[in-house]
């Protein structure tokens, strides 16, 4: 029996118990070593219907879509139609943000690597028509610039929607048609969809959310985010096996299983080449390439991307040096603990990679001066108020805004404990993870300019920072 066979047996035996332990309604896993692929699924696609998950079930892949969008851009670069270091306005003349100088300077490469610097969590719904991405880009004119283009990393959904519009302009067709004709078709994918209208043709998962911190998952009231955010990850849906087929293309120098050259070998290599180093966030990569996250793990490097939509989560990891890829798709509960259990074993056994443990608070947190971190930080979907209580403990109150408030987001008050340097983690986990908060920069008064949890959220109150609530 091969090592891959061993993993297949372990997944069939272990996955149902893991789903029960972590309250995940359903999950599907696919693993590839060389040309061999195995897949396993368990659970139910909706707790309301009880329909069982199979290996042919389709789940939303969320922001893993960004690697697909980046691949479409790199195909255009292969054709000589896109210069990665040209201003994006060369291809999308109507692109604008609040800072005109930044809008004129932002390059395609900066959008691909999340270094463009404007606020990125913009989820404006501009309808379901084929012009929705074009209309979405037209709404960005008032979007604030957080930092000069190219100077640091901040995850940017809106930037990938701009890239989607670039693809539409140069291909002369809607984004989902580009995905279908330039990726689904050449890769020979049989269970992949752009949105609910296509996903309903398959055995589709429903996302599940938790009404309260300790509540059991329930089916989400909305299946997907707006079509206008499709290039960033609101629509793409597929089997775990089909996601691994996309990963295999990137491992095989841009070739599909039948030998079709989907992307050049040079571009596949360029996409995984680090462009920017991230703050020490723990859950994201150590660096970011052109679409791919890069993880500097023992036995690696490893590349990948994660995605989260309304109650669905996707994780994808590739080990180019070992020709290994693994994908996990799920529909609620605690997907991070599930990811940690499965990927730790699969990557260790098949690729010799040791996945670091997820961030966690120290047993005895160090007491530090928190004065410089206090204040209010805000973006389009949340306001974060960082306060110190009478005992000197640090708290962040997260107040949802915009779409997050509309989806039922609740105000959360979270105690933070010191991890290292300017890094803090919640004392209590949310969905099994302690997402780090990193305070960076200086606003000129001795206070941090940003709090970073993957997104750089800028301070908005510098003269009346809260002290003792």
The DSSP secondary structure of 203-251, one letter per residue, reads -B---EE-SSTTPPPEE-S-S---GGGGGGTSSEEE-HHHHHHHHHHHH
Predicted confidence (pLDDT) per residue in 47-81, tens digit: 999 999 999 999 999 999 999 999 999 999 999 99
Element (H, E) at 324: strand 324-330
Burial 47-79 (b: 16+ CB within 10 A, else e): beeebebebbbbbbbbbbbbbbbbbbbbbbbbe
Q: Determine contact, residues 154/146, Cβ cutoff 8 Å.
A: yes
| Nearest-angstrom CA–CA distance, 139 and 154 | 20
Backbone angles phi, psi at 281, to 5 degrees: -95, -20
Write the burial class of residue 299 (CB in 10 Å: 0-12 exposed, 13-18 middle, 19+ buried). Answer: middle
What pLDDT is attached to residue 431?
A: 73
DSSP code of residue 183: I
Residue 274's CB is within 10 A of a number of other CB atoms, namely 18
Nearest CA to 76 among 56, 57, 62, 90?
Answer: 90
Catalytic residue among 32, 46, 57, 63: 63
Residue 86 CB contacts under 8 Å (≥ 6 apart), including other chains: 107, 108
Measured CA distances, 139 to 95, 98, 128, 232 (Å): 9, 11, 16, 16
What pLDDT is attached to residue 461?
A: 56
Spell out, as residue ranges, where the chain has pLDDT lower than 70.
1, 403-404, 406-408, 461-469
| Nearest-angstrom CA–CA distance, 458 and 426 | 20
Measured CA distances, 336 to 302, 404, 430, 438 (Å): 18, 21, 10, 20
| Nearest-angstrom CA–CA distance, 365 and 44 | 40
Residue 14 CB contacts under 8 Å (≥ 6 apart), including other chains: none
Predicted confidence (pLDDT) per residue in 313-340, tens digit: 999 999 999 999 999 999 999 999 999 9
Helices 65-78 and 157-171: angle between axes, nearest 10 degrees: 40
Q: Determine contact, residues 64/316, Cβ cutoff 8 Å.
A: yes
Q: Which residues pair with 399 in a beta bridge?
A: 383
Residue 418 CB contacts under 8 Å (≥ 6 apart), including other chains: 362, 365, 366, 367, 368, 394, 424
What pLDDT is attached to residue 329?
A: 98
Residue 330 is among the residues annotated as catalytic for this protein: no
State the Cα torsion 383-142-66-287 to the nearest 10°: -70
Q: Which residues pair with 412 in a beta bridge?
A: 398
Q: What residue ranges define each of the domains in the chain, with the CATH number in brackets?
A: 1-357 (3.40.710.10), 371-461 (2.40.128.50)
Backbone angles phi, psi at 168, to 5 degrees: -60, -45
Residue 280's CB is within 10 A of a number of other CB atoms, namely 16
| Nearest-angstrom CA–CA distance, 440 and 115 | 16
Q: Determine contact, residues 144/127, Cβ cutoff 8 Å.
A: no
């Amino acid at each position: 029996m091969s090592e891959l066979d061993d993993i297949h047996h372990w997944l069939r035996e272990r996955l149902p118990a893991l789903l029960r332990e972590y309250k995940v309604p359903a999950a599907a896993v696919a693993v590839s070593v060389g040309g061999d692929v195995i897949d396993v699924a368990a659970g139910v696609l909706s707790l309301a219907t009880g329909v069982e998950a199979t290996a042919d079930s389709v789940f939303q892949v969320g922001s893993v879509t960004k690697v697909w969008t980046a691949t479409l851009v790199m195909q255009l670069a292969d054709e000589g139609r896109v210069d990665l270091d040209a201003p994006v306005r060369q291809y999308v003349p109507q692109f604008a943000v609040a800072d005109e100088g930044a809008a004129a300077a932002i390059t395609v490469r900066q959008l691909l690597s999340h270094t463009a610097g404007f606020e990125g969590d913009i989820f404006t719904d501009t309808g379901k028509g084929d012009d929705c991405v074009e209309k979405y880009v037209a709404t960005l004119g008032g979007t604030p610039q957080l930092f000069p283009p190219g100077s640091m990393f901040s995850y940017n959904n809106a930037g990938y929607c701009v890239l989607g519009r670039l693809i539409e302009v140069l291909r002369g067709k809607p984004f989902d048609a580009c995905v279908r004709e330039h990726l689904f078709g050449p890769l020979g994918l049989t269970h992949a969809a752009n949105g609910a209208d296509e996903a309903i043709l398959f055995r589709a998962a429903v996302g599940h959310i938790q009404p309260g911190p300790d509540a059991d998952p329930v089916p989400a009231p909305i299946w997907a985010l707006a079509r206008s955010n499709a290039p960033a990850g609101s629509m793409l849906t597929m089997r775990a096996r089909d996601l691994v087929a996309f990963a295999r293309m990137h491992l095989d120098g841009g070739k599909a299983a039948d030998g079709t050259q989907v992307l050049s070998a040079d571009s596949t290599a360029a996409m995984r080449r680090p462009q920017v180093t991230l703050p020490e966030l723990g859950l994201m990569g150590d660096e970011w390439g052109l679409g791919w996250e890069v993880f500097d793990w023992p036995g690696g490097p490893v590349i990948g991307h994660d995605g989260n939509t309304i109650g669905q989560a996707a994780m994808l990891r590739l080990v180019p040096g070992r020709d290994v890829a693994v994908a996990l798709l799920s529909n609620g509960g605690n997907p991070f603990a599930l990811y940690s259990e499965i990927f730790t074993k699969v990557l260790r056994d098949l690729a010799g990679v040791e996945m670091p443990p997820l961030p966690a608070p120290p047993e005895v947190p160090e007491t530090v001066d928190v004065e410089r971190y206090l204040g209010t930080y805000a973006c389009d979907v949340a306001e974060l108020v960082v306060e110190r209580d009478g005992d000197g403990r640090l708290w962040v109150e997260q107040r949802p805004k915009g779409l997050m408030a509309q989806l039922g987001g609740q105000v959360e008050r979270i105690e933070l404990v010191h991890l290292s340097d300017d890094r803090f983690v919640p004392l209590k986990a949310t969905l099994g993870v302690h997402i780090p908060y990193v305070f960076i920069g200086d606003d000129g008064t001795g206070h941090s300019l940003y709090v970073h949890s993957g997104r750089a959220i800028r301070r908005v109150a510098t003269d009346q920072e809260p002290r003792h609530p």
